Amino acid sequence: MQNPTGVLELGKEYPPPGEDAVIAELERISVELLKRDYPANVRPARRDAHAKHHGCVKGKLSIEADLPIALKVGIFKEPRHYPALIRFSNGDRHAQDDTKGDTRGIAIKLLGVEGEKVLESEKHEQTQDFTLVNHPVFAIRDAQDYLELFQLLIKGGNKLKFFFPGINPRQWRLHEFKIATTINRKKIISPLEIQYWSMTPYQLGTGAAKFSVKPQVVGVAPKAIPKSPHYLHTAMVNHLATQEARFDFLVQLQTDPYRMPIEDPTIAWDEAVSPYQKVATLTIPPQAFDSPEQMAFCENLSYSPWHSLPEHKPLGGINRVRKHIYESIARLRHEMNNVPYQEPTDSTI
């Protein structure tokens, strides 16, 4: 955190010098990896991360009435409903068996969101996205560390070398290793019955916040983990055949710029110091969602934390990396698949 005065302020970013060059190199490597994974005879080209989805469903986000003034910002300004497209996924860059431990993601795209968006190229789009996974902290601190990991991966090196680069324990990334191991071992019973976190912070008015999405309805899925490779899709089909799924949408305000850093998403923000507060309800009504058309529609959507109003602008180094990579990867895979790259509108669904 390269603040010349050493004093940190709430809601402020502190990009380190030279970060732009690091991000440009990361973008170059990501593009190279995607092209390498998907030569011309392998189509469709999938996402560079969260390649496998369990389903893309329709729902709505209903904003709470009478929120405290500090939370009445952006989409939370007034009580209303937003139509939503929600994609559930495994985190791996390859579509793998659901019985393997992995990160699980939820990506929420709100439609009909008025106001100019932060990306110059998508200023007039009407979408606001939120991307969350089933763990509160990320295993990589910043762009520079991400580059070291990527440089290792592109050479076909072992990920362990990133965490333990040598015999000197001072160089070990033990804190990050513990997070990565916990995340990579996660097995779940249903994507509709787990809690998700944004990991990285976002602007909330003049301050900053992290987000979480927590299920209200649990116990619908069977208790034991089935053996089938695609059981998470089946769990969603079975749940939504008869019942709705409902989640609380929560925000955690940054109240201490030192103990709740913007620039290091490996540090959990203490809930005893700043508890999560409910701002909205995400409802997914019963529905059939696995027609080939809907599956293809899902594949062709692009989610990004940067599909955003300025009031919810992504913050911190990892989010600054995501700004460039999500857009170039999403554009490239659409080009490779010969499908238009465009945001959906209210009338698309």
| Closest approach of ligand HEM to the CB of residue 78, in Å | 26
Span 114-143, contacts to ligand HEM by CB under 6 A: 131-133, 138
Nearer to ligand HEM, 240 or 330 (CB): 330
Please name the residue that has the structure tokens 């599909």. Answer: 307
Q: Which amino acid is at 291?
A: S
Please name the residue that has the structure tokens 């011309």. Answer: 40
- Whether the CB-CB separation of 303 and 322 falls below 8 Å is answered with no
Does the bond joining 44 to the residue before it have cis omega, within 30 degrees of 0?
yes
200 touches ligand HEM by CB under 6 A: yes
| Closest approach of ligand HEM to the CB of residue 131, in Å | 4
| Closest approach of ligand HEM to the CB of residue 79, in Å | 26
Per-residue contact flags (x/-) with ligand HEM for residues 228 to 247, judged by CB under 6 A? --------------------
Q: How many residues bind ligand HEM (CB under 6 A)?
A: 26
DSSP three-state, residue 276: coil
| Closest approach of ligand HEM to the CB of residue 93, in Å | 9
| Closest approach of ligand HEM to the CB of residue 226, in Å | 23
Please name the residue that has the structure tokens 């916990």. Answer: 182
Nearer to ligand HEM, 67 or 236 (CB): 236
Does the bond joining 229 to the residue before it have cis omega, within 30 degrees of 0?
no
**Could you give the CA distance from residue 334 to residue 349 in angstroms, rounded to a whole number?**
20
Q: Strand runs (DSSP E) across the chain, as ranges?
A: 53-63, 81-90, 104-110, 128-133, 196-197, 202-204, 207-215, 245-253, 277-284
Tokens of 324: 């460039």
Per-residue contact flags (x/-) with ligand HEM for residues 5 to 44, judged by CB under 6 A? ----------------------------------------
52 touches ligand HEM by CB under 6 A: no
**Could you give the CA distance from residue 33 to residue 108 in angstroms, rounded to a whole number?**
26
Nearer to ligand HEM, 80 or 186 (CB): 186
**Could you give the CA distance from residue 254 to residue 127 in angstroms, rounded to a whole number?**
25
Q: Which amino acid is at 56?
A: C
Q: Residues 326, 336, 343, 344: which binds ligand HEM (CB under 6 A)?
A: 326
| Closest approach of ligand HEM to the CB of residue 91, in Å | 7
89 touches ligand HEM by CB under 6 A: yes
| Closest approach of ligand HEM to the CB of residue 304, in Å | 7
Tokens of 266: 């490996």
Reference 334, options 43, 112, 111; nearest CA is: 43
Q: Residues 147, 180, 232, 325: which binds ligand HEM (CB under 6 A)?
A: 325
Tokens of 249: 């949408």
DSSP three-state, residue 125: coil
| Closest approach of ligand HEM to the CB of residue 219, in Å | 25
Nearer to ligand HEM, 67 or 192 (CB): 192
**Contact residues for ligand HEM (CB under 6 A)?**
47-50, 87, 89, 105, 107, 131-133, 138, 146, 198-200, 302-303, 318, 321-322, 325-326, 329-330, 333
